[in-house]
């Protein structure tokens, strides 16, 4: 286990910063256990970080910061069952090519693959599709280090109460060291990217969701056009027609990253230019069709830095909520530089999942990192919260435990388990204190 000199750390978006008291890089569950026991001895709280892609302080570690760099191995691959066990620190962009080489794939992925697998499941990361849940629904087993330093495993058959809650736990129950995933045979995706009038998308949203295996759309609120994405799942041996390197470079790097960033830097200095910029970018993103293996389709390159919030609202309320926030933007003249992203996620039984016991339409809202976001994000939270939305654990929101208890029927069950497993707040930090409430025996000293 490597101990590092503590240095300042910030997340990808620059929304959270901390200088830990100590940084450790364990290479095994036993070394994680040692790090936890040492932290408890020294009166320090412990947090494991992933890639730093969460926009919230969920993994902020003022005490001991556990970095998973050395916990990135492949433990086992069972081709017959599709069960794959990996260490918790493996990033998705390394996991997916490994699965492909074995003829396997994750059933569903989000649109960014920079996260570690543990970070993705801990915050409830998801993709889009009426028949597909969050990434956490693919879990079949976990290994964790608890607050007393014990290394435990859990599944639907072993410590089921812990497994049920730990599938999306925001890091509150322990440090995940291994995950077992239910993978599926490798498959291809036929992609149709096409612009469509946003009002048509609103009117046909249910139909568009039902007609595709995966459907989502992006919409800049100063425009009248939505950029739609429809994926159809096909066998792995389907003839592939991937994007050319030149086409991918132009669309996914030049237009939506390099040029977009340059335009938004100008828009930051001249805010009145923002509506025109968003209209230009919408027109510059071309319609296209291609077919490729799933790992090369789901994730997109995201180099332009932004801040992000997201609320998962009931499907019946989604379109009305989007129309309401559009009215607010039109009325106030608020300049919004990034699109809304609208997806669909299937219901599950995970206590802290945004899709707990109901299908949801997650609506992501963004702002360029150099531009003010507070007023716009506040309006989005007001509108999407009033529509019955639940905030994504890894994205910016203002809710606290009292508000979250009202929108999660199993909230108190989760907190009760947290209180039993970590009564002194070994894994606490300011964000978890806000969204879950402090652990029953925690003190400010214990949560340094």
Instruction: Delineate the domains of the chain, giving CATH numbers in brackets.
Output: 74-185 (3.30.465.10), 187-391 (3.40.462.10)
Residues 184, 53: Cα–Cα separation, whole Å? 26
Q: What is the predicted pLDDT for the residue at 445? A: 46
Q: How many CB atoms lie within 10 A of CB 123?
A: 29
In degrees, rounded to 5, the angle at the alpha carbon of residue 264 between the alpha carbons of residues 214 and 17 is 80
- Interatomic CA distance for residues 8 and 428, integer angstroms: 19
* 444 DSSP 8-state letter: T
Alpha carbon of residue 78 to chain centroid:
27
The Cα 53–Cα 60 span in angstroms is 12
Q: Report pLDDT for 303.
A: 83
Element (H, E) at 289: strand 288-293
Neighbouring C-beta atoms of residue 197, cutoff 10 Å: 11
Residues of the chain with pLDDT under 70: 1-6, 246-256, 444-448
Q: Tell me the CA distances in angstroms from 444 to 19, 23, 63, one per residue in order.
A: 17, 20, 12
- Check residue 255 and give its pLDDT: 63
Q: What is the model's pLDDT at position 5? A: 56
Q: What is the structure's pLDDT at 446?
A: 40
Tell me the pTM: 0.95
Both tokens of 356, joined, read: 């707990």
């Amino acid at each position: 286990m490597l101990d590092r000199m503590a240095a300042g750390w910030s997340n990808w978006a620059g929304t959270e910063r901390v200088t830990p008291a100590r940084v450790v890089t364990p290479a095994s569950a036993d070394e994680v256990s040692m790090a936890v026991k040492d932290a408890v001895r020294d009166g320090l709280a412990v947090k494991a970080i992933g890639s730093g892609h969460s926009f919230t302080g969920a993994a902020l570690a003022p005490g001991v910061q556990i970095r998973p760099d050395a916990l990135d191995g492949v433990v086992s691959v069972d081709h017959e069952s599709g069960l794959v066990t990996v260490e918790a620190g493996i990033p998705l962009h390394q996991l997916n090519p490994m699965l492909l080489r074995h003829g396997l794939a994750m059933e569903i992925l989000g649109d960014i693959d920079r996260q570690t697998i543990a970070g993705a499941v801990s915050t409830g990361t998801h993709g889009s599709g009426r028949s597909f849940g969050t990434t956490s629904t693919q879990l079949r087993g976990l290994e964790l280090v608890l607050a007393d330093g014990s290394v435990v495993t859990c599944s639907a058959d072993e410590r089921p109460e812990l497994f049920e809650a730990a599938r999306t736990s925001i890091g509150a129950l322990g440090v995940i060291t291994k995950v077992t995933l239910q993978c599926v045979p490798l498959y291809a995706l036929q992609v149709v990217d096409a612009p469509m009038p946003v009002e048509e998308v609103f009117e046909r949203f249910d139909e568009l969701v039902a007609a595709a295996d995966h459907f989502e759309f992006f919409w800049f609120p100063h425009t009248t056009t939505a950029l739609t994405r429809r994926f159809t799942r096909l066998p792995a041996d389907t003839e592939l027609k991937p994007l050319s390197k030149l086409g991918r470079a132009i669309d996914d790097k030049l237009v939506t990253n390099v040029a977009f960033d340059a335009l938004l830097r100008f828009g930051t200095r001249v805010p009145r230019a923002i509506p025109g910029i968003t209209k230009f970018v919408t027109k510059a993103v071309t319609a296209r069709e291609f077919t490729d293996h799933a790992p090369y389709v789901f994730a997109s390159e995201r180099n332009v830095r932004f801040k992000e919030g997201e609320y998962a609202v009931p499907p019946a309320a989604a379109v009305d909520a989007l129309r309401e926030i559009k009215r607010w933007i039109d009325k106030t003249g608020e300049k919004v530089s990034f699109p809304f992203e609208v997806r669909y996620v299937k219901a599950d039984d995970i206590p802290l999942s945004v899709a707990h016991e109901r299908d949801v339409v997650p609506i992501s809202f963004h702002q360029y990192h150099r531009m003010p976001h507070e007023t716009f994000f506040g309006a989005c939270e007001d509108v999407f919260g009033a529509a019955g939305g639940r905030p994504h654990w890894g994205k910016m929101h203002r809710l606290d435990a009292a508000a979250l208890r009202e929108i999660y029927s199993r909230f108190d069950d989760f907190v009760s388990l947290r209180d039993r497993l970590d009564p002194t707040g070994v894994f606490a930090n300011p964000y978890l204190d806000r969204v879950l409430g402090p652990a029953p025996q925690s003190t400010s000293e214990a949560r340094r």
